[in-house]
Amino acid sequence: MYPLRKLLAILGFTMMVLPFANAQSRYWIQLTDKRGTTFDPNTYFDRVQHEVAGDSTNFPLNESYLQQIKKVTGNIGRTSRWLNAVALSANKRELKALAKLPFVKDITPITGNYVHAEFDDHTNGSSDKLTEIYDILNRQTQRMGARYFTLMDSSIVINGKGIRIAVFDGGFPGVNTQEVFSHIRNENRIIATWDFTKNNENVYRGISHGTNVLSCIAGIHEGTAMGMATGAEFLLAITEVNSEPFSEEENWLAAVEWAHKNGADIISSSLGYTFNRYFPTDMDGKKTFVARAATLAARKGMLVINAAGNDGDSDWKVLGTPADADSILTVGGVSPDNNLHIDFSSYGPTADGRMKPNVSAFGKAVVAKPKGGVQIAYGTSFATPLISGFVACAWQINRNKSAMEMLKLIEQSGDLYPYFDYAHGYGVPQANFFIDSLKEPESTFDLYEDDTYYNVFVPAGYVKLLSGYNTTILFYNIENEKGVLTEYGAVRVYQEKALSLFKKSFKKGYKLNIKYLNYSGTFNLGDKEEVGPTKVVMHQ
């Protein structure tokens, strides 16, 4: 029987949000088992890959259980094979009846609203704006070293060919007509589409956000690639609709399973769920159904890439869900102007202390407009597809690697790796990591201590007084004995004495990690005895 204590808590929640006994709210009903169900992968999957034979999460739900539930509530909504759950609407009386069913394992309320992880900046067509557009357009892929993929081998075109990318969003108007996408249409590389809000195949409607996002993966504007995966295949899904505030997470779960069924290698999602639905303490990768589904997708061999969110300058500040999921690539934003964290990009870590975001890309990008032309837009929504395009290219030349292996390689390709922090992750991925045999970097700094401070000194030859986005930056963090960052920052290096840190900031087991001009150093400082001025030896 369903635990009474848990049921009372759920009923209390229902009474808080719904004052009438007969009023209905939305719930996920998780079931105990799939007894008696069968599954044929040959008829279910469009193409079978990355699959573990006999994986029970692919089996359908028990139809008898669903019919018994429907007798109680009069309705059933979307079902999730992976989570063995059904979404539905129920009132207080119906919840009590559901809780008595022997095959009901758990009941979870579905609440609140969603946010797209983006801000729009519509161009006014001025010459200054056009200059900025073409500047950013050229740099949004080159910042990740796109040219290295083109130089690798003249006999191989590295553009994501053979990689299938599922994109979840609120609409794709113009993708069927806009010139930016003509190369995709002409080669029939939109493999499948589905609108989960209307249950039909027409996705060329709705808000333009999905159109913007797709252009950052694979668009070509006047001969310039807007994203790196111009040769990839696509699955396009509408999962969001403003008029149905309870349905978006249900649709996202359904879309993940649909993408799996249709052979997706990568899922690119620029959506997030935060306040009005959850608390920051819920962002632990386990609380929400979408985070659990994203983790399952990773275990099934897909690489899920999700925006960190745009709450960095709001009261919420931290990433949303499913960006908190384990084993997925969460993307933060950096500014094209200075290569540092862009102010609105949400921060890590997760509520349970895991490092997020994993990597970053431009949070200000050039995107396609539905009726033609391009514009500048802001948000981790656009950093995410830029990374998705990069991953498709890297995976194209590493097809023997699993999704988890690729995730680790993408992290290692970050221009800050092995340094990380909760604003930039491991930095912006670099194509030359996958192409070159990288040389051992030369030391670019030393650490000295006196009675009060640890001082980072940069040799005169490495103090580069550059302007604009090329200004040289030294990154540092202080890591405690549990691997949690207690402090991190980025400083511009204008003089040899680049940084001073109070020795009192370091307790037993603490480490100082530094990254400057491709050189990284880790110093174990918390266990040191007090000494006079001396050079500190790096930990190997």
Residues involved in catalysis:
169, 209, 381
| Dist. CA 102–CA 89, nearest whole Å | 19
Single-letter residue type at 372: G
423 neighbors 341 (Cβ within 8 angstroms) = yes
What is the SS3 assignment for 289? helix
Residues 146, 148, 150, 152: what is their CA dihedral angle, to the nearest 10 degrees? -150
- In eight-state DSSP terms, residue 145 is T
Strand partners, 476: 489, 514
| Dist. CA 126–CA 459, nearest whole Å | 44
**Residues in contact with 57: Cβ distance below 8 Å, sequence separation at least 6, in sequence order:** 81, 82, 84, 296, 300
What is the SS3 assignment for 340? coil
- In eight-state DSSP terms, residue 524 is E
| Dist. CA 387–CA 413, nearest whole Å | 12
Nearest in space to 251 (alpha carbons), one of 110, 346, 350, 70: 110
C-alpha angle 39-258-184 in degrees, rounded to nearest 5:
135
| Dist. CA 183–CA 365, nearest whole Å | 21
| Dist. CA 443–CA 461, nearest whole Å | 11
426 neighbors 469 (Cβ within 8 angstroms) = no
What is the SS3 assignment for 217? helix
Cis peptide before 418 (omega within 30 of 0): yes
| Dist. CA 156–CA 223, nearest whole Å | 19
420 neighbors 477 (Cβ within 8 angstroms) = yes
DSSP assignment string, 78-108: -EETTTTEEEEEE-HHHHHHHHTSTTEEEEE
Cis peptide before 385 (omega within 30 of 0): no
| Interior/surface letters 199-229, b for 16+ CB within 10 angstroms, e for the rest | eeeebbebbbbbbbbbbbbbbbbeeebbbbb
The interaxial angle of helices 403-412 and 380-396, nearest 10 deg, is 110
Q: How many CB atoms lie within 10 A of CB 386?
A: 31
